[in-house]
Amino acid sequence: APEAQTKPGLLGRLFTRADTRTVIRRTLDDDMLEQLEELLIAADMGVDTALRVTANMAEGRYGKKLSTDEIKQLLAREVARIMEPVAKPLPIYPKRPQVVLVVGVNGSGKTTTIGKLASQFRAAGKKVVIAAGDTFRAAAVEQLQIWGDRAGVPVLTAPEGSDPASLAFDALTKAQQDGADLLMIDTAGRLQNRADLMEELAKIVRVIRKKDETAPHNTLLVLDATTGQNALSQVETFQKLADVSGLVMTKLDGTAKGGVLVALADKFGLPIHAIGVGEQIDDLAPFDPEEFAAALTG
Ligand code: GDP
């Protein structure tokens, strides 16, 4: 069938519109499963996860004739099943201020996500403080201040090149004095020198624990969904650098195929606390596994 007749979404690439309108049945055989696998891999799901998904689809149904709609629903159900356990909002701790360390490579959307989260928490009546911990990038500090202004949240900064751990300590002191509910600490995202970054993150944790031995309460890793399979290696890297407790996936509004979220959930099982769906302050949404699965399979 000509390309123009196929509809968007994963299975749109496999079935023509005519296929889904009429009740054409396809045998769930090796050939069909292989075609499905290829689609899932092309959508950034990775080989292991794609194989697992298709194996689950075939379980008890191998060789059966299914309508294209049934195949679509089956795929969506398998994807949703993997995603449901990871769809969790950011846990709120009774401890105040709750300290949230935000990590991720430069450009992943850390600054934007901190601004969006600050705005959401403030709208929920929480008192929020932000620490601009990427003290080596003057532009990052400036950007964070802009986001803090937008969200109506104070941003603590330190002179360029100064010690991020000392800023984090001061920020926690201020957040405690002000009776803040939440302190979000931005961090550097230079992966070029991992040893330095590891030491920097470890020092931030060490120093804030002098003020609150339970901190940080969350370590959020911000990942750009458009980087595809690269997101997997970023999780591995940051798990070595910090005690990652959850993810925020950004740029899901763009051309990201989204399959990498399934691979991430399958491989690491880390909670996805929120997804970025645009560049504006309100463009942060809870992760909805059913909706995601339906949109992905199309
Ligand atoms: P940082 O270097 O990790 O702090 O990244 P930034 O927060 O500065 O974001 C890098 C770029 O990605 C900016 O141009 C943001 O506007 C953009 N961005 C961040 N989150 C999203 C998102 O969810 N959707 C889209 N379309 N763009 C985003």
Q: What is the pLDDT of residue 298?
A: 81
Pairing of strands 25-27, 65-67: antiparallel
State mean pLDDT over 257-283. 96
**What pLDDT was estimated at residue 7?**
39
Question: Is the distance from the beta carbon of residue 107 to the nearest atom of ligand 1 less than 6 Å?
Answer: yes
Name which residue leads in pLDDT, 2 or 83: 83
Please work out whether the CB of residue 104 comes within 6 Å of at least one atom of ligand 1.
Answer: yes
Question: For position 225, what pLDDT does the model report?
Answer: 94
Residues 209, 56: Cα–Cα separation, whole Å: 45
234 ligand 1 Cβ < 6 A? no
Is 70 exceeded by the pLDDT of residue 6?
A: no
Q: Which one, of 111, 46, 36, 105, lies nearest residue 66 by Cα?
A: 36
Q: Is position 166 annotated in a ligand binding site?
A: no
Per-residue pLDDT tens over the stretch 84-95: 999 999 999 988
Task: Compute the average pLDDT of residues 134-154.
Answer: 96
From ligand 1's centre to the CA of 240, what distance in Å? 24
**Per-residue pLDDT tens digits for 194-214:** 899 999 999 999 999 999 999
Distance CA 168, CA 261 (A): 31
In this prediction, residue 18 carries a pLDDT of 64
Rounded Cα distance between 154 and 89, Å, is: 24
Q: Any idea how long the chain is? A: 298
Mean pLDDT of 19-48: 88
Strand order in the sheet with 182-186: 155-156, 128-131, 182-186, 98-103, 218-224, 246-250, 272-276, 284-285
pLDDT 10s digits, 46-81: 999 999 999 999 999 999 999 988 999 999 999 999
- List C-alpha distances in Å: 84 to 48, 88, 193: 19, 9, 36
